[in-house]
Amino acid sequence: MTKLLGISGSLRKASFNTALLNAAKSVTPEGVEFETATLHGIPLYDGDVEAESGVPAAANDLKQKIIAADGVILFTPEYNNSMPGVFKNAIDWLSRPPADIRKVFGGRPFALAGASPGSFGTILSQNAWLAVMRTLGADLWSGKRLMVPKADTLFDGDRQLIDEKTRERLRGFVKAFADYVATVKEP
């Protein structure tokens, strides 16, 4: 069974990216396990805190979920034409200590998806992640891109995906990534 992990890069309860993450879980194909994760509880990176106390429990828990996954999808908002600071901060914690980078990111398939009420659907945020994922040695899957613009018209007030065309795009994205992950995961 292929194990995917989806991480929402937003802390908001009413986040379109958390809603997209939840919708992705609901369209996961048979034979694929899809777990979700949050950034809640991960403090701002501080090298002094790391030196005194090590990696915080919330960051370490997320790190262990990534290590247990065959592939990871980052559901990234776009703030000020780039990635959200809270999401980048979490990735910074996940790369500590440097000796862990390889086991967390090295060669592990990652995919990018995002939803935005704007017209471009997180394209600039996704582009900003390219250098970060490359630096960490992740296998950034480029088979498909999922950018969901005008998300405020595609989800209802309870953040349920109500647009069938978007649901089918999401289903195809998750399936294509899961298929890719299955071809590269270790036996």
Phi first, then psi: give them for residue 2, nearest 5 degrees.
Answer: -85, 130
Q: What is the dihedral of CA 136, 119, 176, 133, to 10 degrees?
A: 0
Please give the Cα distance from 157 to 154 (Å, whole number): 10
Which pLDDT score is estimated for 186? 65
- Which value, in Å, is the radius of gyration of the alpha carbons in the chain? 16
CA separation, residue 175 to residues 35, 100, 102, 104, 181 (Å): 15, 29, 26, 23, 10
Domains delineated in the chain: 2-184 (3.40.50.360)
Which pLDDT score is estimated for 187? 60
The residues of the chain scoring below 50 in pLDDT are none
What the block records as the tokens of 75 is 């559901």
Are the beta carbons of 78 and 124 closer than 8 angstroms? yes
Chain segment 120-158, per-residue pLDDT in tens = 889 999 999 999 999 999 999 999 889 999 999 999 999
CA separation, residue 52 to residues 45, 47, 171 (Å): 13, 9, 44
Please give the Cα distance from 93 to 58 (Å, whole number): 10
Beta bridge partners of residue 71, listed in sequence order: 4
Which pLDDT score is estimated for 144? 87
HSE-CB for 184 with a 13 A CA cutoff: 18
State the Cα angle at 25 between 181 and 156, rounded to 5°: 140
Are the beta carbons of 147 and 120 closer than 8 angstroms? yes
